[in-house]
Structure 1
Amino acid sequence: MGRNAAPWLRCRKRLGWLARLRNAGHTDPPFGDVQHRAKDQSMNVTRLRVLAGALLVIGTGIANAADGPLVATDVKQVDRDYWFQGEYLGSTRTACGRCESCGLQVVALGKNDFQAVLYRGGLPGSGWWTGMTKHDLKGKRDGETLRLIGDDATQRIEISKSTATVQAVHQPPTPGSEQIVSLGELIRIERRSQTLGAAAPSGAIVLFDGSNTDHWKSGRKSDDGLLMIGTETKVPFQDFTMHIEFQLPYMPNARDQGRANSGVYIQSRYEVQVLDSFGLKGENNEAAGLYKFKAPDANLCFPPLVWQTYDIDFQAARFDGEKRKTCPATITVWHNGVVVQNRVELANKTGGGAAESPISLPTKLQDHGNPVRFRNIWLIDRSGSAQAQSLALQRK
């Protein structure tokens, strides 16, 4: 690349960001003892290759959010806004000329409206962490171009053909003579959880693999073979490690707790929230939050319709012979392969969970009226109960 190339292009080449995306690899999934789990929390990343003009073709004849509340469980049902929503990654030039990695999360709000967050350092969990610099933007799609503007109007981002161009707006003393400077480009990508598709290890209990719902009370499968909400395990488990994969519906018109809401209710008592929190702050009632008790250490929520994972270590509360609690329940949660709740002691049940007691209860997949889907659910029992041992032996 020549010296006369734009500074942000030279910057991008020096960073070698595209090579890093292509070479991003798996780390060992977080199973087994917490102290021996892999510390490398990198994620697989796949660049979305969208041909010029493809958005226009895809948008023809599909749903339009302006026609009413849209609830899509498949990309065949989405509107045009969906193809602008998502994550973007690349590099930009700072005011002092230094280049840095940047990530962008774009959230569709329906009727061509959007909000976005620009992260200095990369994407959440991959270069950017809670407390680092970020900028909020809002904008509207006009045809095949989305224009986003920062709160102070000095920062703009224009998205077209899966590429986001980051711009700085300079306001000289003379009115009406603003200057727009391009700082860099970010490419639309799709990240993949490092534990997605993890196979059940020897001795694990496969709770759902798509073949049947035998382990679930009133369990139902969708037409495409996925486990639906509103069910619970037939067998209660005390101490365990669980792997579960879930997909959030695309609901651009919905807001807050009405946007792809469900939950993994451990022992029917402690809820690990499931919610479309993509691009949000990451509160205690959002994705991977311990409902109304503790927010996740980072918001690792992916966009809707992208498969995600929870890997959960749970140890039940302990009680003495008088049914007095002697030790609180503890939980560790990996969201998309990244630890977001680390050996948290649960003071009590969360939300509307069942009261704590020495008796183990089933684990539920909450029905909140939104079509969240689940697959590849398995569990390693550590309590040694006769029921759990019997289920594990059935798999051999």
Structure 2
Amino acid sequence: MKKKNVYVLLATALISTTVMAQQKNDPAKEAAKTEVWEPVPKTVTPGNLPQDAPSDAIILFGGKNLDEWHAVNDPSKPAGWTIDDGFFTVKKGTGNIETNQKFTDYQLHLEWRIPSNITGKDQARGNSGVFLASTGPGDDGYEIQILDIYNNKTYVNGQTGSVYKQGIPLVNANKKPGEWQFFDIIWTAPRFNDDGSLKSAARVTVMLNGVLLQNNFELKGETRWIGAPAYKAHGPAGIKLQDHGDPSEPVSFRNIWIRKL
């Protein structure tokens, strides 16, 4: 073989090797191997402000009526709490209220206010709560506590933002009585086997006024005032707000919306 032909073969081999090496080490092509293009997430239009409901939210209270709620003591009756200018207030002695719709996993936004002329102390100071899955007419369910603890001492697993009697809040982020405060809650409902035994525990993340209080907390069961928490099998459930029945001034609520997850 002539030297010229040898040089040509060597040059061709060198070029081929170089091209193959370049192709093999092409960052764009390597990166493309781990790119996922489908399924495409649906588009959700956010509100103008963080507290505004996004486009896929269900409005549970928009400021005018309690059509999305009923009395827990008698589900055939509408919620009997007092509606004012863009908010509603616990009407003492009427009992808890609950959403007409039932939910499983969700993102919940809820704003609440304890009046500035609040009296009482400990747990008798603007006591209410949001039950994330209402499983009956009693207080069984999974409660996130509402209470004035801006300058009020109480047991720490019963203060605002606690998973009542289970999860102590990471911090105290409460505002003064008379100021509007807001919860943003991510709820993952428990799952149960066909025989009623627990398959996976409930989990909750709670933010108060934009501050993290519960970080994917795993619940031990339904919250109870007396006794240890325990699970009982249930499916989709309503969300309940509490009429605690205290003599102290009652709690008000506004701008409540939910997103199914």
Q: Is TM more than 0.5 here?
A: yes
Closer/same/farther in 2, CA of residues 354 and 325 from structure 1, 3 Å limit: closer
Q: 1:362, CA displacement in angstroms?
A: 1.2
Question: Could you say which residue in structure 2 is the equivalent of 1:55?
Answer: none
* 2:132 equivalent to 1:266: yes
Pick from 190, 205, 209 the counterpart of residue 336 of structure 1: 209
- List aligned pairs for 1:307-318, cutoff 5 A: 307-318=180-191
Task: Give the whole-Å Cα distance in 2 for the aligned partners of 1:196 and 1:363.
Answer: 24
Q: 1:196, CA displacement in angstroms?
A: 7.8
Pick from 341, 358, 363 the counterpart of residue 234 of structure 2: 358
* 2:112 equivalent to 1:246: yes
Contact 2:220 2:230 in 1 (8 A): no
Question: Could you say which residue in structure 2 is the equivalent of 1:291?
Answer: 164
Contact 2:63 2:85 in 1 (8 A): no
Question: Could you say which residue in structure 1 is the equivalent of 2:137?
Answer: none
Closer/same/farther in 2, CA of residues 210 and 361 from structure 1, 3 Å limit: same
Closer/same/farther in 2, CA of residues 264 and 354 from structure 1, 3 Å limit: farther
Task: Give the whole-Å Cα distance in 1 for the aligned partners of 2:215 and 2:115.
Answer: 28
Question: Could you say which residue in structure 2 is the equivalent of 1:279?
Answer: 151
Contact 1:196 1:245 in 2 (8 A): no
Task: Give the whole-Å Cα distance in 1 for the aligned partners of 2:110 and 2:176.
Answer: 17
Counterpart amino acid of 1:260?
G
* 2:194 equivalent to 1:321: yes
Question: Could you say which residue in structure 1 is the equivalent of 2:43?
Answer: none
TM-score, normalised relative to structure 2: 0.67
Question: Could you say which residue in structure 1 is the equivalent of 2:83?
Answer: 222
> What do the CA deviations read for 1:126-185 (whole angstroms, capped 9, x no partner)?
xxxxxxxxxxxxxxxxxxxxxxxxxxxxxxxxxxxxxxxxxxxxxxxxxxxxxxxxxxxx
Q: 1:358, CA displacement in angstroms?
A: 2.9
Counterpart amino acid of 2:244?
H
Aligned length: 188
Closer/same/farther in 2, CA of residues 308 and 334 from structure 1, 3 Å limit: same
* 2:62 equivalent to 1:200: no
Task: Give the whole-Å Cα distance in 2 for the aligned partners of 1:347 and 1:302.
Answer: 29
> What do the CA deviations read for 1:230-287 (whole angstroms, capped 9, x no partner)?
3110111110000000001234541111100000011121110000010356711011
Task: Give the whole-Å Cα distance in 1 for the aligned partners of 2:231 and 2:59.
Answer: 28
SS at match of 1:256: coil
Task: Give the whole-Å Cα distance in 2 for the aligned partners of 1:319 and 1:279.
Answer: 41
* 2:244 equivalent to 1:368: yes
Question: Could you say which residue in structure 1 is the equivalent of 2:30?
Answer: none
TM-score, normalised relative to structure 1: 0.45
Q: 1:354, CA displacement in angstroms?
A: 9.4
Task: Give the whole-Å Cα distance in 2 for the aligned partners of 1:196 and 1:258.
Answer: 33
- List aligned pairs for 1:58-77, cutoff 5 A: none
Contact 2:144 2:162 in 1 (8 A): yes
- Higher relative contact order (Cα pairs below 8 Å, separated by 6+ residues): 2
Question: Could you say which residue in structure 2 is the equivalent of 1:185?
Answer: none
Counterpart amino acid of 2:58?
I
Contact 2:57 2:259 in 1 (8 A): yes
Q: 1:198, CA displacement in angstroms?
A: 1.2
> What do the CA deviations read for 1:60-82 (whole angstroms, capped 9, x no partner)?
xxxxxxxxxxxxxxxxxxxxxxx
Question: Could you say which residue in structure 1 is the equivalent of 2:258?
Answer: 379
Identical-pair percentage: 39
Counterpart amino acid of 2:252?
R
Contact 2:191 2:200 in 1 (8 A): yes
User: Quick check: which one's strand share is greater?
Assistant: 1
Closer/same/farther in 2, CA of residues 258 and 224 from structure 1, 3 Å limit: same
Counterpart amino acid of 2:105?
D
Closer/same/farther in 2, CA of residues 281 and 298 from structure 1, 3 Å limit: farther
- List aligned pairs for 1:93-108, cutoff 5 A: none
Q: 1:228, CA displacement in angstroms?
A: 2.6
Counterpart amino acid of 1:287?
T
Task: Give the whole-Å Cα distance in 2 for the aligned partners of 1:335 and 1:244.
Answer: 10
Task: Give the whole-Å Cα distance in 1 for the aligned partners of 2:126 and 2:163.
Answer: 17
Task: Give the whole-Å Cα distance in 2 for the aligned partners of 1:306 and 1:335.
Answer: 13
Larger radius of gyration: 2
Q: 1:209, CA displacement in angstroms?
A: 0.6
Q: 1:223, CA displacement in angstroms?
A: 3.2
Q: 1:338, CA displacement in angstroms?
A: 0.7
Task: Give the whole-Å Cα distance in 2 for the aligned partners of 1:354 and 1:207.
Answer: 29
Contact 1:275 1:287 in 2 (8 A): yes
Q: 1:212, CA displacement in angstroms?
A: 1.7
Contact 1:251 1:259 in 2 (8 A): no
Contact 1:213 1:221 in 2 (8 A): no
Closer/same/farther in 2, CA of residues 287 and 350 from structure 1, 3 Å limit: same
